[in-house]
Amino acid sequence: MNPINNGTQSDAPSLGGGRVEVSVLVVGAGPAGSVCASLLHRAGIDCLLIDHATFPRDKICGGGLTPKAWRLLDTLMPGIKYRYNSVNHIRLMIENRLRCEFDAEAEIRIVRRREFDHLLLETYQQQGGKYIQDRLMSIDERPDGTLVATLASGVQVACQYIVGADGSNSHVRRHLTGNTDRGILAMEEYLDKGTYDSTNDIVLGLSRQYTRGGYFFRFPNPDVEVIGYGDTCTTPDRFRQVLTDMQIPVTKLRGAYIYLSNDYPRHDHILLIGDAGGFANRITCEGLYDAFITARNASQAIISGTPFSAVNSAEYKKMKRQTRRASLFFSATGFFFLKIACRFPRTVKRIFDRKMRQE
């Protein structure tokens, strides 16, 4: 496959009318999409970024940037400055009891996704990148290899590549699979600072009462406490019960899906990254690190003309390993050994710190 035929921004057609021609269309302006579009733009690739939402917009997510995530972001978006709450202390609860706590060696940066995502999009635009607010409706694959995306506004975008970064309810992935599977439901509520806990730490909770893959968390972001829950059978009533069991006030509940599968057809010119591609940690559901990694890999694949499946092969393999480990982690056997491990906080800390540094 040959590298992409680069256009220049001055050569790009106006976005005001019926048909637009660009090299790459990136669908979704969250962290994966905005970072990918920024990398493509800085490499001289004629790129258009779209999203149906009005930014800034809320996003269901704890907002935790692990050390490996924020260090990677620093290399991909040099000089970017964002507001965050620095947290080092971790508390692990099992069956609503504190089992283990420790101080991580490096800070976890807790961001407010509403402003963090908006900042990434603004950074791309300030670099001169093209962005429009619009919704993808359909994709037509032409015999000559051209991809034509029809948007809700009626605009048709002809391009060589489409990058799906449009979240777990991805329209781009739906084009490849033909189904509407969105993954597991995750729910959150926001509490005023100090309502649940006045300490500046992260709380992670597990219970055999949660269905397979279930978890609870509390993240103190700069403005509010984010209380979250998710499992394979999450419902609003189930979340309310978990909050009641934890003696946490029930306020306004929010929900979003997390897609946790890479079992879809691979396409050399239609790439799925971030949540759209099912790239989130199978145990913790952390997604920002993998959003940045897959954004980088997609841009490298497009710039070099190398299949994304090759550039991103390590990510696909990692997701398979995590799926197997998650099956053990959330089993009765996994809980048994986790409880034993929690008797040795220093060991848990060493394992945690190593995972925060590298995959």
pLDDT in tens, 306-347: 999 999 999 999 999 999 998 888 888 988 898 899 999 999
Higher-pLDDT residue of 180 and 121 is 121
Give the Cα separation of 127 and 190 in Å (integer): 33
Give the Cα separation of 278 and 291 in Å (integer): 10
Average pLDDT over residues 67-84: 96
Higher-pLDDT residue of 19 and 36 is 36
Higher-pLDDT residue of 1 and 45 is 45
Mean pLDDT of the chain: 90
Residue 225 contacts residue 192 (beta carbons within 8 Å)? yes
Whole-structure pTM value: 0.92
Residue 269 contacts residue 145 (beta carbons within 8 Å)? yes
Q: What pLDDT does 234 receive?
A: 87
Instruction: Spell out the residues 6+ positions from residue 158 whose beta carbon is closer than 8 angstroms to its own.
Output: 19, 20, 21, 22, 146, 147, 148
Phi-psi region of 85 (alpha: psi -120 to 50; beta: other; left: phi over 0): beta
Q: How does DSSP classify residue 13?
A: P
pLDDT in tens, 261-285: 999 999 999 999 999 999 999 888 8
Residue 348 contacts residue 58 (beta carbons within 8 Å)? no
Give the Cα separation of 22 and 8 in Å (integer): 10
Q: What pLDDT does 71 receive?
A: 96
pLDDT in tens, 136-190: 999 999 999 999 999 999 999 999 999 999 999 999 999 999 988 888 889 999 9
Give the Cα separation of 28 and 166 in Å (integer): 4
For residue 228, pLDDT over 70 is answered with yes
Give the Cα separation of 71 and 93 in Å (integer): 28
DSSP for 106-142, written as a single string: EEEEE--HHHHHHHHHHHHHHTT-EEEE--EEEEEE-
For residue 222, pLDDT over 60 is answered with yes
Tell how far CA 80 is from the center of its chain: 19
Give the Cα separation of 328 and 114 in Å (integer): 34
Residue 311 contacts residue 39 (beta carbons within 8 Å)? no
Q: What are 195's two structure tokens?
A: 């309502």
For residue 42, pLDDT over 90 is answered with yes
Q: What are 282's two structure tokens?
A: 């199978």
pLDDT in tens, 175-215: 999 988 888 889 999 999 888 878 899 999 988 888 776 88
